[in-house]
Amino acid sequence: MKTNSITYLLFILTLFISQNLLAQIPQVPAELEFADIVVRINPQARREIQLDVDAQYRNPSYFKVKQDRVNLYMPLIERELKNSGVPVDLKYLVIQESGLIGDAVSTSNAVGFWQFKQGTAEEVFLRVDNQIDERKNIVSSTKGAALYLKKHNNTFDNWMCALVSYQMGLGGAKAYFGTQYNGKQVVDVDRNTHWYFKKFLAHKIAFGSHTSTLTSNGSYMVEERVQGPTTLAALSKKYGVTEKHLEEYNLWTKNGKIPGDRVYTVVYVKNGSLPIQPAVITESQPKTTTTTTTTTASNSHVYKQANSFPRINGNTTKASQADQITVNNLDGVQAAQTTTQSTFSDRVGVKENKLRRLNDLEKGERIEAGEYYYTEKKNASAEVATHIVRPGETLWSISQKYGIKLSSLKSKNRIRRDSELKAGMVLNLQEHRKRGEEIPRVALTAPAPARQAVVTPTPSPTVSQQPSSTTIQNNTSAPSPTRLTHTVASGDTLFNISKRYGVSVNELKDWNNIGTQNIISIGQKLVIFRP
């Protein structure tokens, strides 16, 4: 009797939850906004889409699990789409494609969160081999999907067509749509509208009103950018999670090893409320309040994250040629030598006036060897929220580092001239600073006390010498090594670089954490210590 009562109560509870969830099922509207398009849906198409919406809610337990995955991954997805210049509305496509299952495989052998076949993945600069499969990396694959969608939208100037081309391919979508929707701001959906777009609308409606920051148990996703070589086993100790946990959320590394060819994103899940950003000290605060902040800017995550920008992807061995690399997910190119704007613009196939406009250059300003320049419009905001100003930086150099328009950087921080910049300032890269709000500053590490002499070698043309704290305290002490930075140019190898500076290849590898494959890329900064 007691068992029957418990079973009955469980049945009633399940029924109550199911009915409560069903009562929350959103209804397909007659009109909605998608990207920059007004979508008008006729009654027959509304009924068809509603069936798909209802199907998402049919199993409450399954919907809850799926929604938790959405809440875990969506903040990263939204950020990458936004930074790539793709409407955030396209985020629902990843739910449609894989249900946010990282190792999902389709019947056509498409793999990962965004369901890329290997050839397409390589077209959008994802690494797929016997060690790494970035189709299973949520950040990398979202960048790839954004690039793919953005390029297709350049053909149609219509995000509905670009979205359908994700399923059909560009050629198939061009044959299907022709030019009838090019540039259209209003789209009518009826029984003849492509099924893939109607299925997308069902996912947008089903999940659009339920996304939140935390999962149902209060978990959230943590993202770490890692430069290898290292292993998940080593990182598990650093992050305080199990190796098995890291393996579960980082299926992109097939053997638990992270190579040193580029920066990879490692994710894991934490429980509890979201972390509060550490406070910074504004200029107006008295010095006595600095005791509340013990971490200097140079040790902070914000300060260190700047080292991973600009983010270069693509065929880096041909970085000085057009259409080979992306710089912060924008088409770009690296200057092989110092030259004039006119010569450089001819070389990369961009009109001189456009080159100046895209890169916020003054007329007559020189193109500097080793610098990255954009060949498409920079974004209004950056991938990260803030930047701590370093000595010697300018507003222009910061805007180029993150791929943010110079005018946007100035506007967000209410700052107009380089003379107003001070080392340690915390600049906003996404949100506008409130009127009258002072720009916060954090303390940089204090320089070492001045001594009697400084070792100052003459660098070679491709070397920029870093400020050195190497000094001679007395006549009997030996000088410490001087730190130099070499920018890898076309044709450079570890061997010829080592000969140039009189160091060994193994020393170069140790100083720069280079793996056994001896891979270096054009534009990479190598640290070199000379006696």
107, 176: one domain: yes
Asked if residue 450 is part of any domain, the answer here is: no
In-domain check, residue 455: no
Do 433 and 361 fall within a single domain?
yes
User: Helix or strand or coil: residue 340?
Assistant: coil
Quote helix, strand, coil % in the chain, to nearest 5.
Answer: 40, 15, 40
Q: Do 403 and 329 have their domain in common?
A: yes
Tens digit of pLDDT at every position of the chain (531 positions) = 445 555 555 555 555 454 554 447 889 999 888 987 899 999 999 999 999 999 998 888 888 889 889 999 999 999 999 888 899 999 999 999 999 999 999 988 999 999 999 999 999 999 999 999 999 999 999 999 999 999 999 999 999 999 999 999 999 999 999 999 999 989 999 999 999 999 999 999 999 865 555 556 678 889 999 988 999 999 999 889 999 999 999 999 999 999 988 889 999 998 754 443 433 333 333 333 323 333 455 555 566 566 678 888 887 778 888 888 888 888 899 988 888 899 999 988 999 999 999 999 988 888 887 889 999 999 988 888 889 888 768 899 899 999 999 998 998 898 888 878 888 889 999 888 887 788 888 876 544 333 333 333 334 334 334 433 333 333 333 344 566 788 877 667 776 677 677 777 777 777 776 654 456 766 777 878 765
Domain of 240 in residue numbering reads as 215-275
Whether residues 224 and 359 fall in one domain: no
Backbone phi, then psi, for 220, in 5-degree steps? -150, 160
- The sign one gets for the Cα dihedral 184, 189, 192, 194 is positive
d(Cα 419, Cα 331) in Å, to the nearest integer?
31
The helix (run of H) or strand (run of E) holding residue 222 is: strand 219-227
Domain membership flag for residue 284:
no
Report field, pTM of the whole predicted structure over 0.85:
no
pLDDT at 77: 94
171 within some domain? yes
Q: Distance (Å, rounded) from C-alpha 451 to C-alpha 474?
A: 9
Give the span between the Cα atoms of 172 and 177, in whole angstroms. 9
Judgement on whether residues 152 and 246 belong to the same structural domain of the protein: no
Q: List, in order, residues 6 or more apart from 214 with CB less than 8 Å away.
A: 71, 220, 273, 274
Whether residues 71 and 202 share a domain: the answer is: yes
Is the same domain home to 369 and 491? Answer: no
pLDDT of residue 462: 40
Q: Do 47 and 178 have their domain in common?
A: yes
**Residue for token digits 């915390």?**
426
Q: How many residues does the chain have?
A: 531
How many Å apart are CA 455 and CA 466, to the nearest integer?
A: 12
User: Residue 316 — φ and ψ, nearest 5°?
Assistant: -70, -15
Q: How many domains does the chain have?
A: 4
Same domain for 187 and 163? yes
In a domain, 480, yes or no: yes
The C-alpha angle with vertex 106 and arms to 105 and 107, in degrees rounded to 5, equals 130
Q: What is the CATH number of the domain that holds 391?
A: 3.10.350.10
Q: Do 56 and 150 fall within a single domain?
A: yes
Same domain membership, residue 371 and residue 249:
no
Instruction: Return the SS3 of 28.
Output: coil
Write down which residue in 410, 441, 472 finishes a domain. 441
Is residue 25 domain-shared with residue 123, that is, in the same domain? yes
Asked if residue 298 belongs to a domain, the reply is no
Question: What pLDDT sits at residue 477?
Answer: 39
